[in-house]
Structure formats: C-alpha cells, structure tokens
Amino acid sequence: MSFPENFLWGGATAANQCEGAYQEGGRGLANVDVCPQGKDRFPVATGRMKMLRPDDGHYYPAMEAIDMYHHYKEDIAMFGEMGFKTYRLSIAWSRIFPKGDETEANEEGLRFYEDLFRECHKYGIEPLVTITHFDCPIHLIEEYGGWKNRKLIEFYKNLVTVLFTRYKGLVRYWLTFNEINMILHMPFMGAGLVFEEGEDEKQAEYLAAHHELVASAEATRIAHEIDPENKVGCMLAAGMTYPYTCAPEDVWKAQQKDRENFFFIDVQARGYYPSYAKKLFERENITIDITPEDEKVLRENTVDFVSFSYYSSRCTSADESVASTDGNVFATVKNPYLKASEWGWQIDPLGLRITLNALYDRYQKPLFIVENGLGAVDTPDENGYVEDDYRIDYLREHIKAMKAAVEEDGVDLMGYTPWGCIDLVSASTGEMKKRYGFIYVDKDNDGNGTLKRSRKKSFYWYKKVIESNGEDLE
C-alpha cells in the first residue's frame, strides 16, 4: 500500500464561495461579499477599484453562493457517503466577530460552526479549518486599512483564541491563511488592501505580509498552548516555475519567481526572514518594523506542516515577447508541452510530483495538498447527472503523481482535499459555470437555479478511490 492508512482523503471549500447567507446569524459585511462578478472583479480583488459596499450595478455571487449555510447537513451527508476522512472548510471571520474589533464574539456564528463540526464527526470526518480564506470584515478595512495596520494582529489573536477554545476537541487541523502569497496578486482579497492613487503598493503588500506572518506564528503559539493536539499549517498557492529554455537568464528568472512565493513559507516553516528577502526590501526601499518580539515569535512558532494548492506548474522567460496564458491568478508563459483547461490553466500532473519534491526538500515538514482540481463546464442530464470523465482523468493523473512522490520519492504527505468538492463560486471569476465538484449544484452564472444537489460520475469514482486508499483509480 502506498498511502499510509490514516491518509486524509477529502475535499475543500471556502466560506465565501459556498455559505451565502451573508446577512444572517448576525454576520457582518466582509471584503469577499463585495467582489462582484464580471469585469470589475479583478480591479476590486486587486485593491485598485474601491468597493466597500455593494451597489445596484453589480451582481455579487458570494451573497448567496450555493447557500451551504442552510444546506450543510445534506452536503456533509454526501461527503460522508463518498467516505471523506476530512473536510476542509473556512470560517467566515465576520460571523464570529461581525466588525472584527469587538471583544465579545457572536454566539450565533460560533454555534453555526460548532453544529457543522459535530455534523462532520457524525460521519467520521475530521474538519480541517482555514481560519481566513480571503476574508476580512469590512469594518477592519474602513477603520484600520486592513492588514497593513499592525492592530490586525491583535484582532486576529482574539479570533483564534476564541476558535481554539470553543472548538477544542472538535477541530485538530488548522490553516492560518489561505494562499498567503495571494497578498502580492490579489491584495484586497488576500489582505483587505485598497490602494490610494500613487500609493507604493509593494510597500503596503509586504507590510501586510509581515503582519499576517506574525499573526500566523501567534496563532500557532496559541493553538499549541490551548491544545497540544492541535496541528497548524501554512498554505501556499504552489506550482513550480519552469524556465522557458535552458538559457541561464530564464533559469535565473524562474528561481526569482519561485522565491516570490517561497518567501512566505520560508518565514512560516523556518522561522526567519530569508536573506534574499532582506536584500529585496533594501533594494526596493521597503520599510517594515520587524521588532525583536516579532522575530522571537516567528522563530519559536514555526508551522507543524506545509499545505498548498496545486492546479498547474508555471513557466517564465527572460524574453518578454514570449506568449503568456492564465494561471491561478498568476499569468504565466505558455508551456508548449502542456494542454490547458477551458480557462487556460495548464494541466501538468508531473508538475505536482515536482512541486511535492521541491517543497519537501526545502522544508522537511509533512505536506498536505489542500486544493487541486479541474474547473470545467458541466452539462447535466435531466436528473442532474454529469458524465465528467475529463475531471476524473485530471484527478486520476494527479493522484498517480502524488502516489509516485510518496512511494518512490519518500515524500511525507498527510492528505489530499481536491478543491470545490461541491460546485461553488469561482474565486478568480465569480462564475458558477467554472465547476470543480463531485456534486453538481443547480445554479447558473446569473444566480438562477433550484440549488438542488446531485451526484456526478466523479462522485462514484472518488468514493472508490477513497475506499481503496488510492489503489483503485479506474
């Protein structure tokens, strides 16, 4: 058997992409609620277009999403039917602290997640909880400027203290920030940043990054203090960067690109700022007040494991005229050896093995693949059944690559939670039609549909995969 017996098979979602009910249960408004679908989504998500309240001219898909807030029992029952050992979900910060800076938590929000975790345990499903998956209460953005303000560390500490205390014994696996490197690519989503005209964006992003990194280390410390059984991980939007050619300039550029991402995990997994980052700050006049207390907390509270999302490898060239394509938010050079999804994301299963090895070599910590999958258009029959062989093929090849990394390369891998195990709103585009799920949800891009859930072909396939602990992939 190649996967350990306790391997955590499951699936992943995020609150803002599935819960909906954005005004129920005392929940406060968050940045993720005001990211519209359509051409303004990217300007808003990157902090270049200020939108802190919804307006009539836009459609905001997170407000209802797939209404998991009211369907979670049914959804978790279906995860249980597939045999999930774990379910990765995120907490909506503004359900727990509607404004973010209160001292008293919102009991209704706390109860919602408590019930949800208990529901998971009914089926032997271990929750894997992302504390923040792109969300930040709007009040913290309006009043404090989001994560570029040091005060956010304190508010985050309050949040995690409440979570670790309340859910002690119910949750053991935690991730501090989803795709922490997204701060550099979607700063409004990643850190609640909205830029003023002429503002030094890099300065603001790295300052916000420092605060998130310290907050993450504080969370790790508090998690271990409250319950030594807690395991805390960091989370990277991963995918190695290949040089377009063997020209040393291309290889050098690929290394630089990878460091942009590794930077975050270097701090979270090793406990200190890498020297190349310090040089970058000097060169670019980025000033960050890193206090001796910050250094201490970073050094003493490295993560227990490294988790990551993997959709594709990346590619780069020193020659700017080489054609690019879309990737997971990061534009990348088109790799002529790879096919791509309908959204232009290149498909590279061997790239997953390469990424697993690179991360394991670099950090020597257990790894966890907490996102992977194919966003595709599905055409259901009248019963909502989808013959999604394309999705099965994608996942099969990635599981094979993962298996080779474990079996042949000796990578220590804790689990696998494919993204969007139930169809949900796309983070990058806000669409419903970019589907990842094993479970189809009847809802379209304009918000129409019954929200009815149905099993796709991949549902039955994945059930077998889990049952056989990854041996039966046919």
The answer to whether residues 202 and 253 touch, using CB atoms and an 8 Å cutoff, is no
The distance of closest approach from Cβ of residue 42 to ligand BGP in the complex, given in angstroms and rounded to an integer, is 11
Q: Which amino acid is at 438?
A: F
Site string for ligand BGP, 394-423 (x = CB under 6 A): -------------------------x----
Residue tagged active-site, from 19, 119, 126, 179: 179
Question: What six digits make up the tokens of 344?
Answer: 């232009």
DSSP readout, 260-286?
HHHHHHIIIIISS--HHHHHHHHHTT-
The only residue of 85, 185, 391, 434 in contact with ligand BGP, by rule CB under 6 A: 434
Work out whether 237 is an interface residue with ligand BGP (CB under 6 A). Answer: yes
Site string for ligand BGP, 156-185 (x = CB under 6 A): ----------------------xx------
| Residue with smaller CB distance to ligand BGP, 359 or 406 | 359
371 is catalytic: yes
The distance of closest approach from Cβ of residue 207 to ligand BGP in the complex, given in angstroms and rounded to an integer, is 22
The distance of closest approach from Cβ of residue 435 to ligand BGP in the complex, given in angstroms and rounded to an integer, is 9
The distance of closest approach from Cβ of residue 177 to ligand BGP in the complex, given in angstroms and rounded to an integer, is 11
- Strand, helix or coil at 143? helix
The answer to whether residues 418 and 456 touch, using CB atoms and an 8 Å cutoff, is no
| Residue with smaller CB distance to ligand BGP, 106 or 132 | 132
Rounded Cα distance, 112 and 299, in Å: 35
Rounded Cα distance, 67 and 355, in Å: 34
Q: How far is CA 154 from the centre of its chain?
A: 23
Q: What angle do CA 405, 410, 416 make, to 5 degrees?
A: 50
The distance of closest approach from Cβ of residue 182 to ligand BGP in the complex, given in angstroms and rounded to an integer, is 7
196 is catalytic: no
For residue 148, what is the DSSP state? Answer: G
Question: What six digits make up the tokens of 42?
Answer: 């990217």
The answer to whether residues 376 and 18 touch, using CB atoms and an 8 Å cutoff, is no
Rounded Cα distance, 231 and 360, in Å: 18
Rounded Cα distance, 463 and 150, in Å: 45
Rounded Cα distance, 294 and 349, in Å: 38
The answer to whether residues 189 and 134 touch, using CB atoms and an 8 Å cutoff, is yes
Stretch that binds ligand BGP, among 19-27, 29-37, 278-286, 427-435 (CB under 6 A): 427-435
Stretch that binds ligand BGP, among 264-272, 315-323, 424-432, 443-451 (CB under 6 A): 424-432
| Residue with smaller CB distance to ligand BGP, 316 or 341 | 341
| Residue with smaller CB distance to ligand BGP, 417 or 428 | 428
For residue 240, what is the DSSP state? Answer: P
The answer to whether residues 161 and 96 touch, using CB atoms and an 8 Å cutoff, is no
DSSP readout, 26-77?
TPPPBGGGG--SSTTHHHHHTTSS---S--TT---GGGTTT-HHHHHHHHHH
| Residue with smaller CB distance to ligand BGP, 82 or 427 | 427
Work out whether 426 is an interface residue with ligand BGP (CB under 6 A). Answer: yes
| Residue with smaller CB distance to ligand BGP, 149 or 261 | 261
**Residue numbers 281-340 binding ligand BGP by CB under 6 A:** 309, 328
The distance of closest approach from Cβ of residue 29 to ligand BGP in the complex, given in angstroms and rounded to an integer, is 19
- Estimate the crossing angle of helix 107-122 against helix 151-166, to 10 degrees: 50
Rounded Cα distance, 268 and 218, in Å: 11
The distance of closest approach from Cβ of residue 93 to ligand BGP in the complex, given in angstroms and rounded to an integer, is 15
| Residue with smaller CB distance to ligand BGP, 38 or 274 | 38
The distance of closest approach from Cβ of residue 242 to ligand BGP in the complex, given in angstroms and rounded to an integer, is 20
| Residue with smaller CB distance to ligand BGP, 352 or 427 | 427
- Strand, helix or coil at 295? helix
Site string for ligand BGP, 2-41 (x = CB under 6 A): ------------x--x------------------------
With contacts defined by CB under 6 A, how many residues of the chain interact with ligand BGP? 15
Active site positions, annotated? 179, 371
Interacting residue ranges for ligand BGP, rule: CB under 6 A: 14, 17, 178-179, 237, 309, 328, 371, 375, 419, 426-429, 434
